[in-house]
């Protein structure tokens, strides 16, 4: 079971569910096909991905919202779809949200790194004749005109900052910087002051840690974060709020609520 990448778009990567920036969307796509909760899928940044299927299978996609076509005809998100041998699946530019998630029945072999043109994707075998009944709610990305709200609690280094810094972090609006990537959501706004500079020692990082580097501009660690950092951790984002950050677009408002 396989498909050929005709165009990878801006960036398409194979991710396990815990490596997706919007885990709930990949989880839903897998559930619609009867895949296990540990099945890898594709994360498609902004669209542009074009696949030609060598063998037949079933797929489901969600996350970002835009025009997705199968053999030239638009198909719905958050629905299981049968795909025949030779069919072409094409993701148009995302109109809402930032990242599509594509699941294939039987799963995609997890190989590291972004996909390139001509790359062959190998799938597991489809299972069963029908699709399961899924009671998970349909997922739709947040309108980019509305702010993303992420609830936070004090981080392990919160005592290094005065009360005014915490108040500004959680009361003043921030915007998502275009420098954001899979490693972190970088926030733009009025820099916060540190009571002490980043130290020489490093600490293990976790997704959701709100780092305050020397610039004074917060960085929220996302699924692709490095293993360690020297920057102090002023706050921690609630795990259930991270998926919305993974779909936020550059320039979108971000409110951190303490």
Q: Residues 238-258: pLDDT tens digits?
A: 999 999 999 999 999 999 998
Model confidence at 124: pLDDT above 70:
yes
Q: What percent of the chain has pLDDT over 90?
A: 81
> Which of 95-104, 118-127, 171-180, 220-229 comes out lowest in average pLDDT?
118-127
Sorted by sequence, the CB contacts under 8 Å of residue 225 that are 6+ apart come out as 183, 184, 205, 206, 207, 209
Model confidence at 5: pLDDT above 90:
yes
pLDDT score at 133: 82
> Which of 29-38, 165-174, 196-205 comes out lowest in average pLDDT?
196-205
User: Do the Cβ atoms of 72 and 89 come closer than 8 Å?
Assistant: no
| pTM to 2 decimal places | 0.92
Residue range 103-111: mean pLDDT, rounded:
88
Residue range 107-125: mean pLDDT, rounded:
86
CA separation for the pair 155, 231 (Å, rounded): 12
Model confidence at 199: pLDDT above 70:
no
**Of 248 and 201, the one with more pLDDT:** 248
pLDDT score at 114: 85
Residue with tokens 């780092």: 211
pLDDT band at 139 (very low <50, low <70, confident <90, very high): confident
Partner residues linked to 221 by β-bridges: 184
| Mode of pairing for the β-strands spanning 253-257 and 148-154 | parallel
pLDDT score at 112: 67
Partner residues linked to 149 by β-bridges: 255
Average pLDDT value for the chain? 92
Model confidence at 121: pLDDT above 80:
yes
Sorted by sequence, the CB contacts under 8 Å of residue 237 that are 6+ apart come out as 150, 151, 152, 208, 209, 210, 220, 245, 256
Q: How many CB atoms lie within 10 A of CB 87?
A: 18
Model confidence at 127: pLDDT above 90:
no
Model confidence at 92: pLDDT above 90:
yes
H/E stretch holding 243: helix 242-246
Model confidence at 198: pLDDT above 60:
no
């Amino acid at each position: 079971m396989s498909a050929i990448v005709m165009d990878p778009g801006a960036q398409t990567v194979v991710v396990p569910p815990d490596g997706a920036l919007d885990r709930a969307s990949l989880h839903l796509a897998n559930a619609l096909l009867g895949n296990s909760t540990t099945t890898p899928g594709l994360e498609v940044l902004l669209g542009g991905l074009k696949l030609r299927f060598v063998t037949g299978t079933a797929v489901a996609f969600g996350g970002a919202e835009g025009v997705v076509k199968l053999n030239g005809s638009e198909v719905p998100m958050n629905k299981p779809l049968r795909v025949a041998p030779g069919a072409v699946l094409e993701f148009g530019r995302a109109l809402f949200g930032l990242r599509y998630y594509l699941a294939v029945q039987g799963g995609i072999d997890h190989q590291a790194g972004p996909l390139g043109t001509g790359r062959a994707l190998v799938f597991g075998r489809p299972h069963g004749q029908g699709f399961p009944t899924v009671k998970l709610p349909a997922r739709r990305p947040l309108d980019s005109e509305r702010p993303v709200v992420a609830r936070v609690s004090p981080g392990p280094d919160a005592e290094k900052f005065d009360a005014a810094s915490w108040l500004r972090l959680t009361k003043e609006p921030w915007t998502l910087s275009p420098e954001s990537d899979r490693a972190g959501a970088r926030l733009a706004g009025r820099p916060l002051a540190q009571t002490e500079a980043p130290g020489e020692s490093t600490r293990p990082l976790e997704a959701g840690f709100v780092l305050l580097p020397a610039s004074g501009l917060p960085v929220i660690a996302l699924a692709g974060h490095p293993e360690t950092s020297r920057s102090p951790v002023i706050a921690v984002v609630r795990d259930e709020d991270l998926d919305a950050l993974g779909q936020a677009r550059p320039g979108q408002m971000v409110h951190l609520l303490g």
